[in-house]
Structures are given as structure tokens and as C-alpha cells.
Amino acid sequence: MKSLHMRVLAAFFALTLSVAAVPVQATYYASPDGSGSRGTLTAPCSLDGARDLVRKVNQRMTGDIVVILRGGTYTLTAPFTLEENATHHDSGTNGFNIIYQAYPGETPVLSGGLTITGWTLYDPAKNIYRAKVPAGVQSRQFYVNDRRAVRARSPISPEGWTKTPTGFTITDTTMQSWGNPADIEVVSRSSWKHLRCGIASITGTEVTMKMPGWANASKTPKPGNPWNGGGTQQINKVTWLENAYELLDQPGEWYLDRKAGYIYYSPLPDDDIPLVGVLPVVETLLSVQGSGFDRRIHNIQFRGLTFKYATWLQPSGDEAYADNQAGVVWAELPPVSRKTPGSVSFQYASDIRFERNVVGHMGGAAIDFGHGPQKNAIIGNCIYDVSGNGIFLGEVDDYKATDPREWCDANTIQNNYITRVGAEFEDQVGVCTGYTRHLLLDHNEIYDTPYSGISVGWGWSKLGYSHQNKITNNQVHKYMRILEDGGGIYTLGNQGTAEEKTEWSGNYIHHSGHAQGLYADEGSGFMEIKNNVIHNVGVNWMNMWTPSIHDISVRDNFADKTNVNNKGTRCVVTDNDMTLKLGNLPEAARAIIQNAGLQPEYAAITAQIPLPPRQVVNDSDNAIVYHGTWTAAGGRKLGDYENDVHHTGTNGDTATFSFRGCGIEYITEFNKNEGDVAITIDGTLVKTISCQTPDLIPQKVAYRQIWPEAASHVIKIEKKSGTFMLLDAFQIYNRPPR
């Protein structure tokens, strides 16, 4: 075993040296159960212990210092902290780096989660299980089988709620006797905003809300530029109620009774019993902090680390979640702008490299670089299942900064895979920046978001120092699934000068909800938008809706429709091909599509996301290959999965889907005008099924095949008869059903 380790290690260092050709001054080892102060391979220390060893030798560095983390879970009760201040100096020196990286072939996980076991069946009629949690534990998220559970909630749009200056009057007189009324949250969707505010008390039919959260969420502050545009959206209606035991009535819902110290959960059909859950209880997992623009933290790198399970508790308190836009909220009175914090947090940081890490199951934003970040590189990370933004770069309140030391400048965000962000706060996006200059935002893939994919800039106006950013070669798809008034790529505020413009090019934007493709919002100016491909988006492929948007050139793009909204000033839309057909792509469009998103050497990072027991792949997914005369039909309101299907009326048309798993389901509508569908698996015709029924049955599992082991397979469906064949979704089984 040891000799194998040594061989792996020798190969690893040979690689490190040959690639980097940088001398290594010292190497230390940490492990989850490490202790002491030797920090060797045979006697590793704790993570804090390794950092303390570095502190003794990093003031006059002669080479990089490497801290190697062995695999396993580092359970945190406080952030792992690196600092640059009067007391501690954790930066690299003399231009060398301090590198925290995974031991080759192993997976170190920094976790803020508390494992919850000891579940007993509490309410057999409702199938609700219960477990004890330590006194005082708080969280807003809970996971079973690596799957985010649903915080117990009401159905959408509960009846009988009427807004008042201090909250609501309600018609339900039983609510005042619920167990913990002061833990209930009102959740409201309002165009591009997602707002939350806690209930302070319920007396009879009078609901009083928490302050100052209610003041900021019920009448949106309107201080104008640079804080807010036409920001009139606010809590006017209740979209749903959340966080009461009385709302726990669906499989997959959970509730934490923090007063009594119990957590409740109703399992999904494929959860393992006995249950094992994880409750994130730490807000910040990694804290890398300088202490000012002249005392930055710098020259530290992180590679191959996994950060998992963090929470963010501010929305549970009196400040609530008074959304302004994209994860920036109003707090305090009079209101100030505040960012959703990152669980992986870098403040006053320069020359940081955060590369090939995994950040998942986060309760706020995943990664935040605040307070004048400069020359940092966020590269090749896999970011998934985040309550807030995937990456937040810069600040929204530094528009007055004229000192270049204070600017967010020259950062790189490249080849990151970012998916299922905004899981709790639906206004949050894949990558969000405040004011920023010389940003390279390139070759990222952003998939499955409730609002915009990328949001660059702030301020609704000419103010600020944003300048010459490059938003290039990104793929953004399945975005704007829930909210409205956003885009695949969205900018706010001025972005350059006539000589030095911001550029959007080579991006591939497709499959949105009710949304714009490309969206230059208020104040956006001095931009060149060229060579992008946009299809299957909800509204315009290019949106410049008001005269404050200025000096933008939109040319040589490809789109599948002619919808452009141009009310900007000196904005030119010309020489675009708006006749794009997916089945017959021009070579230039095909090249843009091929090139956009993750580069080949980063393609494998997507596989680091833990698979749920099952996974639905909607008919809109571009992994499904359609052959023939198919039509994508959205907004049918017939009970389809994600309210859409593909359909064809031509016998012999096919849809083919390659997947890895141990089971597959073909999900479609059954109806009277449908006929036979032939199912082929891995090239062999396995069955011909009839989809004809007298009455419509949506989301019908028409075919299911289960194998004992996961492997790669191809399923093909072919129309044989009837007026129509439909495809609503496929469902993959990642493990056999119980």
C-alpha cells in the first residue's frame, strides 16, 4: 500500500514539476483525523494545523508551499480561515504560491453539515419521520441522499391573504394556534424578484410581519440610480407559505422545530430506510480575508477540494430576504444594499487561483469574491445545487471608487460548470458581478437556473467604473425557468467607452422560459455583441428596451426568430441571420455551438455532481436527438412535465437519447389521436407500445426498462402509426428502484 502511495506521489510531483517548473519550498499533509504538528505523510495534522505550519515558514518564500489534503470529510464547526492582517500572514510571498490541494486520486470534503440519524416513524398516517437534533441548531436546508429536501410549504397561491401596512389579514382562524407561528415565512414571486419575510405573530386573523424585513420587502425602496431602476416590485401576494410542521404533508418535505430540537421528514419513495440526513449548520466553509485594499490576501491556490453543505441564516431573521435583484437585498432601516454572502468567501483578495474544485449544496451564494478583487482566477470548478448565486464577483456599492486599488479588476472566470443555482432564492443567477473591469468570463456552462444565467454590472445608469469586459464562448441553457424579465446574458450599467468596449461573442444561449436571449438593461452601453447563437428563447433574442441603453452594436449573430427590441440610443442591429434552423445549421453557427461552453479538458468536471436516485430529462434537453419533422410545443397547460412536449405527425420519425444508468422510462401523453411507438434499446427493437387511450393521460410512463447495474445505453423511439407521437421526458434511474 505504501509503495503504491509513494509511486503515485512520485508521478504526481513529476507532473507538478514538469508542468509548473516552480520550486517547492515545503510540503505538508493534512487529514480529517490528523493532529499534532508534524504534517508529514505518515503523521498528517489537521487542516488548521497545516495552515499553522505554513505560517512559520512563509514570510520569505523560496518556492511554492504545498498543503496536501488527504481524502475524507473535514467536518467544520467554523470556517477554515486564511487571513492577512496585523496578526496573521497567510499569503504567499516573493511571488510564490501557497497551494492547498487534494492528494492525488482522493477527495477531501470540507463540510458544514451535521449528519442526522436515529429517525423513528412519528406519524404513520402521514409517513412523517422524526429525529432529535442538538439544542439551538438552526438551518434552512436539509438533504437526504444528496438531494435537497423541500422545506415544508403550502400549495401555490394560498387563498384568503390580504396585504395590510403591517402584514396581512387572513381568513384562516386556525393558523394562530400553529406550533411556531414566528418561524413561518411568506414567500412571494414578483416578476424578476423573489422575496421572503418571516411572520412575527398571528393574532386572530391579523398577521404581523417581521421588521425591518417587512418595510423593505413590502414597499421596495426606490432611491433610484445607482441602487435601483424601476424597482417597484414587492411582496403584494403570497406565492406560498413555508416552514411549519402544519405544512408538512408531501413526500420530500421537512421541518426543523428548533425550539423543541426535532427535525421532521417525509421520505420519498426511493429514500433508504433507515434514513440518514444532513443538516448544514455552518455558514462559511472557507474564509480567505485580507483586511483592506492595502493589506490584501494573495498568492494562494486551491485545487481539487470539495466544499459541501453550508447554510445562510439572515433570511430567517428580522432582515428577511428583501430582494432588490440577483442576490442583492435590502437590509436595515434606512435600507442599505447587501450581497448574499458566499460560503466560499474571498475578501480583499488578489492573485488567488481557485481551480477544479467542487462546491455544492450551499445555502447562500457558492463563491464570493468581494471588496476589490483583482487578478483572481476561478477556473474549472463544478458548482451545483446552490440557494443563491453560483459566483458573485465584486461589489454593488463601489460605483464612486476612483482609486484603481479599490476596483474589481482583471479577474478570470473560465470553464466553470454551474447548475441548479437559485434553488432557494430564485432571483439569483449562475455568475453575477457588480461593477467590474477587464473581466474575462469565458467558456463557462450555466444550466438550469430560475432567473438569468449571467448578470454583469450594476447601477441602471452611466455611473461606475465597469469597463471592457469580455463575455465570450459561454453556453447558457434552460435558464429563466421561473421568474421573468431576465436573459441568458444580462448587463446593467455602462460597460466601457467608445474606444474600449465590452464584448459579448461566441456565446450559445438556448432554451429559456419567459425570457430574453441577450438582454442589455438600463444604462448598458459601449458594447459589441457579435457571433452569438440564440434559439428557443421565450421573448426577444436581443432586448434593448429603453433609451438609457446606448452605443451597442449587434451584428453577425444567429437566431431562430426576428424578435428584437431596440429602443436604445445609437444601438445598431444589423447583418444578423435570423432564420436559424437546428436541423440545417450554417457552418459558422455550428462552429460557435461546438466551441461554446466547457473546453474539452474540462468536460469531465460535470460528472462530479452526486447523482440523485432518479433524474428526469425533459424533452427540451439538447441531449435528445430528434430526427424528422418534430415540433417543440411549450405552454400547453395539459399537465406535461415542465409544461411542454415534442410531437411529430410523420411515421418513421425518431428521437434518440444516450444515457448512463440502470434504468430508463419513456414518458409521454396518451390520447385518442396517438398510435404505436416502437422502442429500440441499444440497437435492438424491444417492444411496440400503443399510446392510444380514449381520454388524455399526461406524463404516462409508456415504457420502462431496469437493469441490475448502471451502464451506457441508447434508447430510440419511432413513430409507427396514429396522428401523433409525443415525447414529454425520459427518466433515468441511477440506481435500481427499491
Q: Which three cell numbers stand for residue 69?
A: 489534503
Instruction: Please identify which residue in 247, 278, 366, 655 interacts with Ca ion, judged by CB under 5 A.
Output: 247
Q: Cα 356 to chain center, whole Å?
A: 16
Helix (H, G, I), strand (E, B) or coil at 704: strand
Residue closer to Ca ion, measured from CB, 73 or 643? 643
Beta bridge partners of 722: 674
**Least separation, in Å, of the C-beta of 570 and Ca ion?**
42
**Least separation, in Å, of the C-beta of 146 and Ca ion?**
22
Residue closer to Ca ion, measured from CB, 22 or 633? 633
Alpha helix positions (H), 531-645? 587-595
**Least separation, in Å, of the C-beta of 272 and Ca ion?**
22
Is residue 453 within 8 Å of 634, Cβ to Cβ?
Answer: no
| Dist CA 495 CA 492 (whole Å) | 8
| Dist CA 566 CA 279 (whole Å) | 48
User: Can residue 728 be called a binding residue for Ca ion (CB under 5 A)?
Assistant: yes
User: Can residue 242 be called a binding residue for Ca ion (CB under 5 A)?
Assistant: no
User: Can residue 426 be called a binding residue for Ca ion (CB under 5 A)?
Assistant: no
Residue closer to Ca ion, measured from CB, 484 or 642? 642
User: Can residue 665 be called a binding residue for Ca ion (CB under 5 A)?
Assistant: no
Instruction: Please identify which residue in 249, 406, 621, 676 interacts with Ca ion, judged by CB under 5 A.
Output: 249
Instruction: Please identify which residue in 424, 619, 653, 669 interacts with Ca ion, judged by CB under 5 A.
Output: 619
| Dist CA 439 CA 413 (whole Å) | 8
**Least separation, in Å, of the C-beta of 731 and Ca ion?**
11
Nearest to residue 191, comparing CAs of 152, 230, 221?
A: 230
Q: What would you report as the CA-atom Rg of the chain, rounded to the nearest whole angstrom?
A: 26
Instruction: Please identify which residue in 324, 618, 654, 671 interacts with Ca ion, judged by CB under 5 A.
Output: 618
Helix (H, G, I), strand (E, B) or coil at 26: strand
**Least separation, in Å, of the C-beta of 667 and Ca ion?**
8
Residue closer to Ca ion, measured from CB, 138 or 250? 250
**Identity (one letter) of the amino acid at 282?**
V
Residues 83-122 that bind Ca ion (CB under 5 A): none
Residue closer to Ca ion, measured from CB, 244 or 598? 244
Is residue 122 within 8 Å of 257, Cβ to Cβ?
Answer: no
**Least separation, in Å, of the C-beta of 479 and Ca ion?**
17
Q: 676-681 and 697-719 as β-strands: parallel, antiparallel, unpaired?
A: antiparallel
**Least separation, in Å, of the C-beta of 673 and Ca ion?**
18
Span from 181-189, 476-484, 640-648, 657-665 in contact with Ca ion (CB under 5 A): 640-648
What is the rounded (10 degree) CA torsion for 613, 616, 617, 620?
A: -160
Is residue 322 within 8 Å of 315, Cβ to Cβ?
Answer: no
Instruction: Please identify which residue in 242, 427, 644, 665 interacts with Ca ion, judged by CB under 5 A.
Output: 644
- Preceding peptide of 274 cis, ω within 30°: yes
Residue closer to Ca ion, measured from CB, 522 or 640? 640
User: Can residue 642 be called a binding residue for Ca ion (CB under 5 A)?
Assistant: yes
Residue closer to Ca ion, measured from CB, 503 or 642? 642
**Identity (one letter) of the amino acid at 728?**
D
**Least separation, in Å, of the C-beta of 666 and Ca ion?**
12
Residue closer to Ca ion, measured from CB, 189 or 443? 189
Work out whether the CA dihedral 365, 157, 636, 692 comes out positive or negative: positive
Contacts with Ca ion: how many residues (CB under 5 A)? 11
**Identity (one letter) of the amino acid at 91?**
S
Residue closer to Ca ion, measured from CB, 560 or 640? 640
Residue closer to Ca ion, measured from CB, 407 or 641? 641
**223-250 CB burial, b ≥16 within 10 A, e <16:** eebbbbbebebbbeebbbbbbbbbbbee
| Dist CA 636 CA 605 (whole Å) | 35
User: Can residue 150 be called a binding residue for Ca ion (CB under 5 A)?
Assistant: no
Residue closer to Ca ion, measured from CB, 264 or 641? 641
**Least separation, in Å, of the C-beta of 150 and Ca ion?**
8
Beta bridge partners of 287: 81, 345
**Least separation, in Å, of the C-beta of 517 and Ca ion?**
21
User: Can residue 546 be called a binding residue for Ca ion (CB under 5 A)?
Assistant: no
**Least separation, in Å, of the C-beta of 153 and Ca ion?**
5
Residue ranges binding Ca ion (CB under 5 A): 247, 249-250, 618-619, 640-642, 644, 728-729
